[in-house]
Structure 1
Amino acid sequence: MVGAACLVGAITTAVLGVTYQRSLGQAVTVARDHARAEADRAAGVIDSELRRFEVAVTGVATAINSGGQDTETLMANLRQGVDRTPQMAGVGVAFRPLAHDPNLRLFAPYLRRRGDAVEQLQLDTLFDYTQGNRDWFEGPLKSGRAMWSEPAVAETLGATAVEYSALLTRGGTAVGVVHGAMSLTEVNDIVSAVDVGEFGYSFLVSQGGFVISHPFADEYALGMRVFTGMSLQDRGSVEDVTDPVTGEPSWMFTELVPATGWRLGVVFFKDQAERTEALRRQRIHLAIALIATLCLFIALVLEPYRYTYAPFPLWLGVGAGSLVLLLGIAFIWAVPYGNNPPTRETETTFVDTGSVRRFSLDTMRGSLASKGTLPSFVPTGVFIQTMEILSPNNVAVTGYVWQRYARNIPKEVARGFVLPDASDREITEAYRSSTADAETIGWYVKATVRQKFDYANYPLDQQAFRLRIWHSDLNRSIVLVPDLEAYKIIHPLARAGLDGNFVLPGWAVSRTQFGSTPRIRTTTYGLTSEGDAGAELAFDVVINRRIIEPMLSNLLPLTVSGFMVFALLLILKESTRGNVVQTLSAFSGLFFVVILSQLDLRRRVSGASILYIEYYYFVMYFTIVVAALTTLTNGYPGLFPWIERREHFLPKLLYWPVILAAIAVITLVTFY
């Protein structure tokens, strides 16, 4: 019978193992295909944008070549080009020495975009563009064709840009170039819109290996390759790499941008594809089948000793079975630990600028459909310097919150925010900065924030500290969105928004992320207008508890108590019948030790439900009571012969397997 059950268990384990491997392979394949498709799609979008820019610059050059090269005509064509091309940060012409006017060595008028305005510069009065090996000027003249330059800090813009240059000709001879600059901000917006969700990020590298767009662009000097093993020639290549940003084992997909020869890369984290709910449950099923099969195999091996007294093989088998159960418990612990927190259906998680753009468009469509008006969007950022868990539901935080108000937002709209969960707060304006497009205001925040933490899985719990933010003007349609442009990298695993020296004793930071949830208003706050319920912005810090401290403070005392109870059972013999009262006194002492330990746990970690670790205490209570009753049988010989047989050998033998089996079942029910 045991042999048949063992065979069935082995077959079931094999089937579940094959099924899991197939499901894992399918999940990885789907994720890889999605990342590859996104890389291909984004490369096509970037190529289309760059070709549109090429057409604009080439159109200006054609108009100048065919319409005359006097100063008035030049400026008219340049102005027309910059007005028609929003992506163009600047455009100009640059003549070879003496080519425009024999009495004028250099001539290079340039139009630079400044917000909604356009200003004119004379590059020839700022620097000698024929010196210094400037790609945008020397490249087309040497090669005889239009071309893109490598990314560099544009002297005309004061920012990193790429330039496209077309030949300026007269009578079939090249006399200069028409060059247009595209800010890397425009390119970054396209690259960051690649939809790989929480599973990775994208970057762009020029043909010469220069970093054009990368979440950690500040960490890479121009000319440095993102990955030393990256091939810039092979189209559609896939490489196994260790991501230098997060340290995660990853795949890197690269696609060619035909217009320029640039390479778009998509880094996809391997482990993230495996962290799905379906795969998690399949791993637990496989673990259950494997544990049951191994236990049945041990029982099969011990079958010949069932009716004989052979202590050594029986104890050896019980030890092996207990070890299997212990490893099974540890495996089930590891399955849910560190998994991503579930996202509510009504919540939007922002993982890149593309998700912010989609949220903004959906919000505008909804507002137009319901109210016929457009909301105002206020980019808001958070930077947390310190965080301390004061009590089970109170968290003290310090840091900065800033908001960027566009110039088109009326002055009547209040500047500020509300922390609805803060019971004690100090908000002080720290700085204020203005540009042509917007005004940025930053506040230093010191607050105690109430949280609804769930400690049911303690000590394997994961908590999400949430800083909810409302706009202070409750009577207007203001929507807060994350100011993702203010962060180097916005992927959740990069822990954006936390100080580099951030420390939270007893916890490990898993991720940070911005989210938005609909705000349901149940009151008008006494205002004449109902205003707009809108959405609230949330900044989440997801933390995993470090289990060392709970193991030392809770599991270690329980383990010691368990071994002491086992030791008291081991001395249960016919020769110790006179010590029953003393043994029961020892059990009662251990019972109260366990009670005091549980009370201390409840004092430190409160919760509305029973904590996972508290079931360990319940198992220990039951164990002490059963051990005490077993000890009582030693004082009444002959009443329970099957228990008393061979000096209570059966209770001693089953002690650890029963305890560990109970804990395994509790663990399975809790985390399944």
Structure 2
Amino acid sequence: MASFNGCGRKAVCIALILCLLSFLLLVQAVYEYKSSKTDEIILEEAKEDAHNQAHFALKTIVEDLDSTRFLAEEISKDLSSGKLKDDFTLRERLLAEMENNSDIFSIGIAYSPAVNAGKLHSLYFKRNGSYVNYSAIQYNYTDNIEKAAWYNNPLKKGSGVWNSPYFGVAAETYLIEYSVPFYLTESGNRDEAAGVVAVSHSLEGIRGAVGGLDLGKTGYGFILSGEGLIISCPFQGYLCGNISELAKEYYDFDLISQNMAVGGYRVTNSRTGQSFWVFHEGIPSTDWTLGIVLPLEETLLEKKTEQKRAVIRIMFAAFAFLFSLFLLFISLYRHDHGGLWILVFIFSFLCILGMGFIWHLALNYSSLDGGNEDFVVFDMAEVETVLQHFSTDSKTSRIPTGVFLETMEFSGSNEIILTGYVWQNFSGLDVDVASPGFSFPESKETTIERAYVNENESVVGWRFKTALRQPFDYSRYPFNREYVWIRFWNNASEGNVLVPDFDSYDSLVPESLPGLEHSFVMEGWEPQKTFFSYRVNSYNTDFGVGDFTHSNVPELYFNIEIKGNFKDPFVSNLLSVIVISILLFAVLTITTRDEKKTLFSFSSSGVLSYCSSLFFVLIVAHASLRTRTAMHGIIYLEYFYFIMYMAILAVSLNSIVFGSNMDIRFINAKDNLYVKLLYWPVILGCLLLITLLNFY
């Protein structure tokens, strides 16, 4: 009795220690979860980093603008002081300034007719490649016309002004111009301007400073003038457009224009389902505004992964604490075999609950990463941001390309057959003779047929059928999510860039499955999201083409995220494993020497025969699983079979030892009770550990 009491006291002490340790572990896990960076903290850090980069960009922009402004004001000062009296001296000065300042596109001097006997007189230098051309201004700049605003605006204001940006046809780039009046001392009237000095500066440097901001994969910056003109943004097609007018067509601009009076704000684009945070601040010495756009989902992506892991840690700590409490209760109040069976049931139930919880996270956790380091895009601003990251020439033609899938079918574990439509917008080309400007480089076999032509929109559509081979990852089968992608190569020899035709879709929310047939059906899979992305691939050959254009450049992808149907594998694989494990436990329960406890007579040969039958059934199911998935490595579901193989072997060995005269106390004690007690905890504990290692 004393011995029993001593063992009981030890059991209580061990249970108390385990309760204390597991409780401390739970407290620590909860504390780490609570003290981890919240969404607000992560966003604030991203904002602070963006602010710092914006300030550096502002410094660069201001230096560029000030150099242009200082040059114009210096020339105006020299003209007003009489230092530049004659045209020869003036031409020499302007030519020298052009040669010394590569960012300056043009310098113009326009005299007022009042100081030149009623006649127009001007000098105009502009850059033409590596040369500088000289000529006079060929139109009446004193007229109140739009292209003469550079002359009239500073005269009306009486001081220097930044004129609205414009596209320089000769320069083939966007320009910004600063003009300032000058006064001639010999005219005797210091109150009336004698003319205007105008200096134009390429926006490429300013766009480069804004485009160089490190704002993640698709974050970008923009600059607006005081009149709302877009001076800089990733998409060149928006440049010099008015944000108020563009807001009628582009929802993002509508959100930005409505909140310009607010320093920082969060908005959600209902068409794409994406949220982003915007802040802006003024650029000194101008009425311009620098804005920053940060995509929230991309910024918080890493946080979501860490949150999932933190929740799993809390779950395990909570389960450990609960089991320790039950262990303490059993140690205090139950000292019979029934108490041990209660502990076995509780531990087994917690293991099953833990696996179910991890499975739930695996089935429902998703992110827009394409399974790789993809650059997910939802509008042309994000597309141009990605292309800018990889120094794609902004003058290269963009070919809008759309896709619509009708059917998708797995013809093998790593081969999928797709049918649908691809269309392209060939603006400025003869659509009647246009050939497909795309190909599928991963295709095993492809057929493409012209389906329709919209001459008014210069759009050609093709119907295609292709068989693609892709490396699907079945390591977590049947709880895996896969990404089926269509990779587009550009067939055009001139190196056009393929971009998504966003305008052709009613909605770009990934969950609404843009580009997929409404009645889309896949056997064993469920489509979850669709989206466009870019991925950079490199090749160690030029394929015999010296100017091969597909290496180390962003390539267009259309992605379909699919989730495995859990029910079919559960019925065909897991259910058989569960039944076999129960039958095996039933076999274990008949290993007894007490004839009163069972209607079946125990014999080692009978158990071995029964285990052999279960092993045969198990090996057939396992082979069927390997055939379906055709994986080179080990998939998650196979561990269930491996554990059952070990269980069958253990039960068989146990029956041999128990039925022999071998004196092994652990097996012979209490009619093989301890082996029976450990059966479910060992199997389910191993499965839980394997599940954790695979999904954590």
TM-score, with length taken from structure 1: 0.64
Q: Is the 8 A contact 2:577 2:641 kept in 1?
A: yes
Matched, 1:186 2:246: yes
Residue 314 of structure 2 aligns with an amino acid whose one-letter code is L
In structure 2, C-alpha distance between the alignment counterparts of 1:648 and 1:590, rounded to whole Å? 22
Question: How far has the Cα of 1:612 moved from its partner?
Answer: 0.3
In structure 2, C-alpha distance between the alignment counterparts of 1:251 and 1:539, rounded to whole Å? 21
Partner of 1:27: 39
The worse-fitting range, judged by mean Cα deviation, of 379-388 and 494-503 is: 494-503
Matched, 1:386 2:398: no
Matched, 1:491 2:517: no
Partner of 2:53: none
Q: Judging changes above 3 Å, is the alpha-carbon distance between structure 1 residues 35 and 636 closer, same or farther for their aligned structure 2 residues?
A: same
In structure 2, C-alpha distance between the alignment counterparts of 1:603 and 1:405, rounded to whole Å? 46
Residue 324 of structure 1 aligns with an amino acid whose one-letter code is L
Alignment of 1:27-426 (within 5 A): 27-28=39-40, 30-31=42-43, 186-187=246-247, 191-192=251-252, 276-304=304-332, 308=335, 310-337=336-363, 338-340=365-367, 342=369, 347-363=374-390, 365-367=391-393, 374-407=395-428, 415-426=436-447
Matched, 1:635 2:659: yes
Deviations 1:334-382 (A, max 9, x none): 233332264688642213332112124445x4548xxxxx433212111
Partner of 1:647: 671
Partner of 2:614: 590
Partner of 1:47: none
Partner of 1:548: 567
Alignment of 1:573-584 (within 5 A): 573-574=592-593, 575=595, 578-584=602-608
Question: How far has the Cα of 1:325 moved from its partner?
Answer: 1.1
In structure 1, C-alpha distance between the alignment counterparts of 2:547 and 2:38, rounded to whole Å? 53
Q: Is the 8 A contact 2:451 2:463 kept in 1?
A: yes
Q: Is the 8 A contact 1:275 1:339 kept in 2?
A: no
- Structure 2 gaps of 5+ residues are 1-13, 51-142, 150-163, 168-240, 280-292
Question: How far has the Cα of 1:35 moved from its partner?
Answer: 10
Question: How far has the Cα of 1:491 moved from its partner?
Answer: 3.3
In structure 2, C-alpha distance between the alignment counterparts of 1:579 and 1:330, rounded to whole Å? 37
Q: Is the 8 A contact 2:436 2:462 kept in 1?
A: no
In structure 2, C-alpha distance between the alignment counterparts of 1:432 and 1:319, rounded to whole Å? 68
Question: How far has the Cα of 1:412 moved from its partner?
Answer: 11
Q: Give SS of 2:376's match.
A: strand
Q: Is the 8 A contact 2:446 2:467 kept in 1?
A: yes
Partner of 1:600: 624
In structure 2, C-alpha distance between the alignment counterparts of 1:85 and 1:659, rounded to whole Å? 72
Question: How far has the Cα of 1:529 moved from its partner?
Answer: 4.5
Given candidates 644, 649, 660, the residue that maps to 1:620 is 644
Question: How far has the Cα of 1:632 moved from its partner?
Answer: 1.5
Partner of 1:567: 586
Q: Judging changes above 3 Å, is the alpha-carbon distance between structure 1 residues 366 and 234 closer, same or farther for their aligned structure 2 residues?
A: closer
Question: How far has the Cα of 1:291 moved from its partner?
Answer: 2.4
Partner of 1:515: 533
Residue 564 of structure 1 aligns with an amino acid whose one-letter code is L
Matched, 1:2 2:28: no
Partner of 2:4: none
Q: Judging changes above 3 Å, is the alpha-carbon distance between structure 1 residues 285 and 302 closer, same or farther for their aligned structure 2 residues?
A: same
Question: How far has the Cα of 1:578 moved from its partner?
Answer: 4.9
Taking only aligned residues, the RMSD between alpha carbons, in angstroms, comes to: 4.7
Deviations 1:407-446 (A, max 9, x none): 28999996421111111221111122234xx622111111
Given candidates 457, 470, 480, the residue that maps to 1:451 is 470
In structure 2, C-alpha distance between the alignment counterparts of 1:185 and 1:445, rounded to whole Å? 38
Q: Is the 8 A contact 1:351 1:492 kept in 2?
A: no
In structure 2, C-alpha distance between the alignment counterparts of 1:17 and 1:425, rounded to whole Å? 54
Given candidates 26, 32, 46, the residue that maps to 1:13 is 26
Q: Give SS of 2:16's match.
A: helix
Q: Is the 8 A contact 1:28 1:273 kept in 2?
A: no
In structure 2, C-alpha distance between the alignment counterparts of 1:297 and 1:461, rounded to whole Å? 35
Q: Is the 8 A contact 1:251 1:269 kept in 2?
A: yes
Residue 628 of structure 1 aligns with an amino acid whose one-letter code is S
Partner of 2:69: none
Q: Judging changes above 3 Å, is the alpha-carbon distance between structure 1 residues 235 and 277 closer, same or farther for their aligned structure 2 residues?
A: closer
Question: How far has the Cα of 1:28 moved from its partner?
Answer: 5.0
**Rg comparison, structure with higher value:** 2
Q: Is the 8 A contact 1:315 1:653 kept in 2?
A: yes
Q: Judging changes above 3 Å, is the alpha-carbon distance between structure 1 residues 253 and 493 closer, same or farther for their aligned structure 2 residues?
A: same
Q: Give SS of 1:611's match.
A: coil
In structure 2, C-alpha distance between the alignment counterparts of 1:510 and 1:410, rounded to whole Å? 35
Q: Give SS of 1:617's match.
A: helix
TM-score, with length taken from structure 2: 0.62
Seq. identity, %: 27
In structure 2, C-alpha distance between the alignment counterparts of 1:523 and 1:268, rounded to whole Å? 38
Q: Judging changes above 3 Å, is the alpha-carbon distance between structure 1 residues 502 and 410 closer, same or farther for their aligned structure 2 residues?
A: closer
Question: How far has the Cα of 1:634 moved from its partner?
Answer: 2.8
Question: How far has the Cα of 1:79 moved from its partner?
Answer: 11
- What is the count of residue pairs matched by the alignment? 500
Q: Judging changes above 3 Å, is the alpha-carbon distance between structure 1 residues 578 and 434 closer, same or farther for their aligned structure 2 residues?
A: closer
Residue 288 of structure 1 aligns with an amino acid whose one-letter code is F
